[in-house]
């Protein structure tokens, strides 16, 4: 007979217990207040949607991450969201349909069929911001700065910002003129940064074209990478220079306001390639092997909802942020309230709670273990005094 461990949870799906839940919730409020201060309006998309709107035009990666079920009312297929960004794009394009620039933010749970990386959660609490209606580098820069402000607000230091641009790969691919099968093999090898597999994929490609594509693997590092990219691609893939110039502009603007920021460039970064259309970025911190926050430009996703819009945004996971936040001093303990039906006592408890104190009513003979003070009737009033256990 098989014993069912009813307390077990699925792999990668975890509960958040009181101490950690308090940190997550405080951080959520803090970050949403931060976004509000930058002019981003909060939206709360639904947990499930019809897959026709949840997944259309967003690439196979998101499709594979999405849980599906049948809607008992309509018979249509529902998906549990694996990413909130497409939902916000739908809200901007269809539900709001505002003219001009729209800034939106969100926070909510998502669910993945499998972890994105070895140690990742399958049930992250995603928080982020999206900017619609502006195709300028200034909009990309604002979103990057807001992402960095998010990490700073969580107390994280030593951030490295990884910058890339899908336009580099697009220009190289256009110049190479590969057939579909070869193009897919090249993409897979580049995405995995596998030089041997890339060599196999390019086995039948003319040597100059193969050298141009293979050279992308070496275009990573500090700002000198951008100068090398100009030299390597100017003749064979001149269309890539516009993307390089965009990265130079963003790097210069960031250096002007955050001179100590560590910048890293990877011109073969294809994360989210089928989703993004321009600058892509990710933030890394010491002690965390995966990107802690990432984003990029994803123009025209709203087209499937009837309104193509320039768009850029970022997202991070509150659970991941929580695990890396520096320890904070615990707040003062709670106040014990005796079990006495005294109107003056109830009034005192109400005033204390309104002032931000935690007051726990006593049940039984002993105060709650969290209490370090108690209400004592003294001098015709109820007063807070140290609790002697």
Q: What is the CATH number of the domain that holds 193?
A: 3.30.930.10
Q: Are residues 152 and 296 in the same domain?
A: yes
Same domain assignment for residues 210 and 298:
no
Q: Which residues contact 177 (CB under 8 A, 6 or more apart)?
A: none
Residues 272 and 296 in one domain: no
CA distances in angstroms from 285 to 30, 104, 207, 261, 263, listed in the order given: 20, 26, 39, 12, 12
On whether the CB atoms of residues 81 and 111 are closer than 8 A, the answer is yes
Q: What confidence score (pLDDT) does residue 48 get?
A: 96
307 shares a domain with 273: no
Segment 23-51, tens digit of pLDDT: 999 999 999 999 999 999 999 999 999 99
| Block residue for tokens 């580099």 | 168
Q: Do 131 and 209 reside in the same domain of the chain? A: no
Do 187 and 124 have their domain in common? no
Domain count within the chain: 3
Kindly state whether residues 27 and 142 are assigned to the same domain. Answer: yes
Return d(Cα 79, Cα 138) in angstroms, integer: 34
Host domain of residue 276: 160-284
Write down the pLDDT at residue 163.
97
Nearest to 279 by CA among 229, 244, 307: 244
Are 76 and 90 contained in the same domain? yes
Separation CA 322–CA 19 (nearest Å) = 11
Q: What is the pLDDT of residues 60-77, one digit of tens each?
A: 778 889 999 999 999 999
Per residue in 308-318, pLDDT (tens digit) is 899 999 999 99
User: Do 150 and 165 share a domain, yes or no?
Assistant: no
70 and 6 part of one domain? yes
Residue 212 binned pLDDT confidence (cut-offs 50, 70, 90)? very high
**Same domain, residue pair 98 and 233:** no
């Amino acid at each position: 007979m098989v014993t069912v461990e009813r307390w077990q949870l699925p792999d990668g799906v975890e509960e958040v217990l009181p101490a950690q839940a308090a940190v997550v919730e405080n951080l959520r409020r803090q970050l949403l207040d931060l976004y509000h201060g930058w002019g981003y309006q909060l939206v709360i998309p639904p947990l499930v949607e019809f897959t026709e709107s949840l997944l259309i035009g967003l690439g196979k990666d998101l499709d594979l991450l999405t849980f599906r079920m049948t809607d008992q009312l309509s018979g249509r297929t529902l998906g549990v969201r694996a990413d909130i960004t497409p939902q916000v794009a739908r809200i901007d394009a269809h539900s709001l349909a505002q003219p001009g620039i729209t800034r939106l933010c969100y926070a909510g749970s998502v669910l993945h069929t499998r972890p994105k990386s070895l140690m990742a959660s399958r049930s992250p609490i995603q928080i982020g911001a999206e900017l619609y209606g502006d195709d300028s580098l200034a909009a990309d820069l604002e979103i990057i700065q807001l992402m960095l402000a998010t990490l700073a607000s969580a107390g994280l230091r030593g951030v490295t910002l990884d910058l890339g641009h899908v336009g580099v790969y697009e220009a190289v691919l256009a110049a190479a003129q590969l057939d579909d099968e070869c193009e897919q093999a090249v993409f897979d090898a580049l995405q995995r940064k596998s030089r041997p597999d890339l060599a196999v994929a390019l086995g039948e490609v003319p040597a100059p074209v193969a050298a141009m594509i293979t050279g992308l693997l070496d275009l990573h590092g500090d700002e000198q990478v951008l100068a090398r990219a100009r030299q390597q691609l100017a003749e064979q893939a001149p269309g890539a220079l516009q993307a390089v110039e965009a990265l130079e502009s963003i790097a210069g603007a960031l250096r002007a306001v955050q001179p100590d920021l560590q910048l890293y460039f990877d011109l073969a970064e294809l994360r989210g390639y089928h989703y993004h259309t321009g600058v892509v970025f990710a933030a890394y911190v010491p002690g965390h092997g995966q990107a802690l926050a990432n984003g990029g430009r994803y123009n025209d996703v709203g087209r499937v909802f009837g309104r193509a819009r320039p768009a850029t945004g970022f997202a991070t996971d509150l659970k991941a942020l929580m695990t890396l936040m520096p320890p904070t001093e615990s707040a003062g303990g709670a106040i014990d309230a005796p079990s006495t039906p005294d109107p003056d006592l109830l009034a005192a408890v109400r005033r204390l709670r309104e002032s931000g104190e935690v007051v726990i009513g006593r049940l039984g003979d002993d105060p709650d273990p969290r209490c370090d003070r108690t209400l004592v009737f003294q001098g015709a009033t109820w007063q807070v005094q140290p609790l002697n256990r």
